[in-house]
């Protein structure tokens, strides 16, 4: 079972302490409160002895020890006021004095009315306040050991030897009471201290763990930033989760409601830092692999070579599931190498759902509690990530609406005015044809300039429009683009495609459409062509886009690859950048005076960045 795993329970407290470390200012503030309480308790004890001096049998040694402890408390308080930091060595020394002193002073009082027992409670409360469960239990055990050491010294005759020595030097006797150090009485006091130590330590540990959980969740929530985009936000959050659980890799699989397309992304943890988050191209079988049907909301499975060593699963409410099938691990193990895997489900609003897979997480202590925290962490962070998604989408829509409004205003205003001016110039040119050839020529030039500006404005408006195109709409969009180009420029243009149904990522579709628009603009501006052809095809695991014309061509002859174009500083810069965005390859074949041919090939199976 999971209890037999190699991660000891004691490690849990160190893990949580690292997740929410205490600041130096908070440590100093804690020590100041403890120093004040120590002095107040010691002075209160001194007042109680003055009211009933018989409690310590008028022993000057008891008053001396109490005075020494008050001096120790005041000195500690002053040092904390003067020093800017409280070191670990200083805190351990002060705590050690707090453990030894009650055992020594208790020798002078009877158990039933012993005012010094409160110092044992104080030292355990101080351990709980400073640290946690096991430090408090260790303090209780140390206090018990000190009492038994004192008891052993009394029974071995140490007090008699000390009294004889004091008599020899004519000093007051110790006047020690041995009643509290009889085995029966000391046993009950020891049990009381141990139980009290466990209770105080447990309460302190729970409080510190809850505080650490809140600090971790708050820190992770702060990583969700609209400016970083979805990819940047997921990289920060998944990287933080990897660091918390010391896992080597995180894989996220998600799906939009009403869609069968699966989005996959991953982050790896290398050299104590997360790698960049990137989306992976998903295939149809990935839906069954990552988004399998299961009643488990969160689970952890440790895998051996031929079997499952242990599995724990929680439902949506955090209750443990007794009947849980971990068959999915065998399928995942064929793709990833891991010894253990933690899986947590998430829901973003009503639109997105999916799972996060942590490979080789180091879960410490209570595995169920670590899984519940992972479940709560993802549940708290989910709305923040969803807000980033919504705000990014709203910004894109707002930008698209603004660009559409601007394009509409250009079309209804500047473009229409330019067309009207161009028509009037054409009328004037025709009327002046019988008068002066020079005027006719000048009006023709102005008309050509106006027509050119109209085309530029239309191209600008086309580029400003937001392209939300997918593989179902791409071919129709390219056909409309080529047809509009022919209608507006008078250049004969055709669009040809031999592709049927195909599944092209939306980003690739968008860039292909932009490449066609930019290529046709270059044909109109620079080639002087009479004919143009745009062709889309698919073969050998690649998509191929060809744009060719019969114009003047490029200022070189032959066929050049993208690497050769870059080294020579030739080729259309915008198209080359767009081809790089989709991991494609550009080849240009130029025959000056006879035209040019642009060929773009894009691999169908590839890793892509969808973080735009």
Q: What is the pLDDT of residues 600-612, one digit of tens each?
A: 999 886 544 434 4
What's the confidence (pLDDT) of residue 577? Answer: 84
Same domain? 233 vs 213: no
CA distance 291 to 260: 11
Q: What CATH number is given to the structural domain containing 501?
A: 3.30.565.10
Confidence category of residue 383, pLDDT binned at 50, 70, 90: confident
The secondary structure element, H or E, covering residue 451 is helix 437-464
Of the candidates 609, 371, 411, 428, the one whose C-alpha atom is nearest the C-alpha of residue 511 is 609
Residues 582-603, mean pLDDT to the nearest whole number: 90
What's the confidence (pLDDT) of residue 1? Answer: 35
CA distance 561 to 36: 78
With a cut of 90, say whether residue 348 has pLDDT above it: no
User: By residue range, what is the domain housing residue 321?
Assistant: 228-385
Higher pLDDT, 484 or 349: 484
Same domain? 234 vs 203: no
264, 286 Cβ separation under 8 angstroms: yes
Q: pTM to 2 decimals?
A: 0.57
Residues 337-363, mean pLDDT to the nearest whole number: 87
Higher pLDDT, 398 or 284: 284
Same domain? 197 vs 259: no
What's the confidence (pLDDT) of residue 293? Answer: 86
Q: Considering the domain boundaries, does residue 396 fall inside one?
A: no
What's the confidence (pLDDT) of residue 610? Answer: 39
Same domain? 237 vs 127: no
Same domain? 491 vs 596: yes
What's the confidence (pLDDT) of residue 454? Answer: 66
Q: What residue has token string 């049990």?
A: 191
Of the candidates 573, 585, 572, the one whose C-alpha atom is nearest the C-alpha of residue 542 is 585
Same domain? 178 vs 240: no
- List, as one string, the DSSP characters of 128-195: HHHS-HHHHHHHHHHHHHHHHHHHHHHHTTHHHHHHHHHHHTT--------GGGSHHHHHHHHHHHHH
124, 196 Cβ separation under 8 angstroms: yes
Q: What CATH number is given to the structural domain containing 368?
A: 3.30.450
Residues 405-433, mean pLDDT to the nearest whole number: 64
CA distance 363 to 310: 13
Mean pLDDT of the chain: 80
What's the confidence (pLDDT) of residue 140? Answer: 92
SS3 of residue 116 by DSSP: coil
What's the confidence (pLDDT) of residue 596? Answer: 92
Looking at 473-568, which runs of residues are DSSP E strands? 492-497, 531-539, 542-549, 558-561
Same domain? 207 vs 240: no
Same domain? 211 vs 336: no
CA distance 581 to 511: 8
Q: Considering the domain boundaries, does residue 65 fall inside one?
A: yes
What's the confidence (pLDDT) of residue 191? Answer: 92
As to burial, measured by CB atoms within 10 angstroms (0-12 exposed, 13-18 middle, 19+ buried), residue 567 is: exposed
With a cut of 80, say whether residue 514 has pLDDT above it: yes
* Low-confidence winner among 180-184, 194-198, 338-342, 535-539 (lowest mean pLDDT): 180-184
CA distance 590 to 593: 9
Q: Which of 198, 219, 240 is the last residue of a domain?
A: 219
Same domain? 134 vs 259: no
CA distance 597 to 611: 32
Q: Which of 190, 219, 248 is the last residue of a domain?
A: 219
CA distance 593 to 527: 9
**Number of structural domains the chain divides into:** 3
Same domain? 193 vs 233: no
Q: In this predicted model, what pLDDT tens digit does every residue of 100-128 receive, in sequence order?
A: 888 888 777 654 456 778 888 899 999 98
Q: In this predicted model, what pLDDT tens digit does every residue of 123-139 receive, in sequence order?
A: 999 998 888 888 899 99
CA distance 535 to 497: 6
521, 568 Cβ separation under 8 angstroms: no
CA distance 42 to 51: 14
Same domain? 132 vs 234: no
Tokens linked to 591? 């025959």
Q: Which of 172, 193, 219 is the last residue of a domain?
A: 219
What's the confidence (pLDDT) of residue 563? Answer: 86
Q: In this predicted model, what pLDDT tens digit does every residue of 216-242 receive, in sequence order?
A: 888 888 888 877 778 888 888 898 888
Tokens linked to 597? 């041919």
């Amino acid at each position: 079972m999971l209890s037999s795993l190699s991660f000891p329970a004691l490690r849990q407290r160190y893990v949580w302490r690292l997740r929410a470390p205490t600041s130096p200012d908070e440590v100093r503030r804690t020590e100041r409160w403890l120093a004040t309480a120590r002095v107040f308790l010691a002075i209160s004890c001194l007042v109680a002895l003055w009211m009933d001096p018989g409690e310590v049998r008028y022993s000057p040694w008891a008053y001396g020890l109490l005075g020494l402890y008050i001096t120790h408390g005041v000195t500690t308080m002053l040092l904390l006021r003067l020093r800017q930091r409280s070191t670990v060595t200083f805190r351990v020394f002060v705590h050690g004095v707090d453990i030894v002193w009650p055992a020594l002073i208790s020798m002078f009082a009877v158990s039933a009315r012993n005012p010094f027992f409160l110092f044992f409670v104080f030292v355990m409360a101080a351990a709980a306040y400073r640290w946690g469960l096991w430090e408090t239990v260790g303090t209780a055990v140390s206090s018990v050991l000190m009492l038994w050491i004192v008891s052993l010294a009394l029974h071995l005759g140490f007090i008699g030897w000390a009294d004889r020595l004091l008599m020899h030097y004519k000093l007051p006797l110790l006047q020690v009471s041995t009643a509290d150090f009889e085995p029966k009485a000391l046993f009950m006091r020891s049990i009381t201290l141990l139980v009290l130590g466990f209770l105080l330590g447990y309460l302190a540990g729970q409080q510190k763990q809850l505080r650490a959980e809140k600090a971790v969740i708050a820190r992770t929530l702060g990583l969700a930033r609209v400016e970083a985009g979805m990819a940047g936000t997921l990289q920060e959050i998944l990287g933080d989760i990897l660091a918390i659980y010391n896992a080597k890799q995180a894989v996220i699989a998600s799906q939009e409601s009403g869609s069968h397309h699966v989005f996959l992304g991953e982050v790896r943890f290398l050299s104590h830092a997360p790698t960049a988050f990137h989306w992976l191209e998903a295939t149809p079988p990935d839906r069954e692999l990552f988004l399998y049907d299961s009643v488990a909301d969160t689970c952890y499975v440790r895998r051996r070579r031929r079997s499952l060593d242990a599995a724990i699963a929680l439902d949506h409410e955090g209750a443990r599931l007794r009947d849980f099938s971990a068959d999915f691990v065998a399928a995942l193990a064929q793709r990833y190498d891991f010894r253990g895997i933690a899986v947590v489900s998430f829901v973003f609003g009503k639109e997105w759902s999916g799972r996060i897979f942590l490979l080789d997480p180091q879960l410490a202590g209570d595995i169920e509690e670590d899984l519940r925290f992972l479940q709560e962490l993802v549940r708290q962070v989910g709305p923040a990530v969803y807000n980033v998604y919504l705000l990014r989408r709203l910004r894109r829509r707002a930008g698209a609406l603004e660009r559409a409004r601007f394009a509409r205003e250009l079309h209804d205003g500047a473009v229409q005015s330019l067309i009207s001016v161009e028509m009037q110039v054409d009328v004037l040119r025709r009327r002046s044809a019988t008068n002066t050839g020079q005027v006719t020529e000048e009006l023709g030039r102005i008309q050509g300039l106006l027509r050119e500006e109209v085309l530029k404005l239309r191209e600008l408006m086309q580029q400003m429009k937001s392209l939300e195109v997918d593989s179902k709409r791409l071919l129709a969009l390219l056909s409309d683009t080529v047809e509009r180009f022919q209608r507006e420029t008078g250049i004969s243009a055709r669009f040809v495609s031999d592709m049927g149904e195909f599944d092209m990522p939306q980003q690739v579709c968008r860039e292909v459409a932009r490449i066609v628009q930019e290529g046709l603009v270059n044909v109109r501006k620079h080639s002087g062509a009479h004919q143009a052809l745009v062709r889309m095809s698919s073969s050998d695991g690649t998509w191929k886009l060809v744009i060719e014309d019969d114009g003047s061509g490029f200022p070189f002859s032959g066929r050049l690859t993208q690497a050769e174009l870059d080294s020579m500083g030739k080729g259309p810069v915008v198209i080359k950048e767009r081809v790089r965005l989709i991991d494609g390859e550009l080849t240009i074949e130029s025959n000056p005076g006879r035209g040019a041919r642009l060929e773009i090939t894009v691999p169908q199976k590839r890793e892509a960045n969808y973080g735009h």
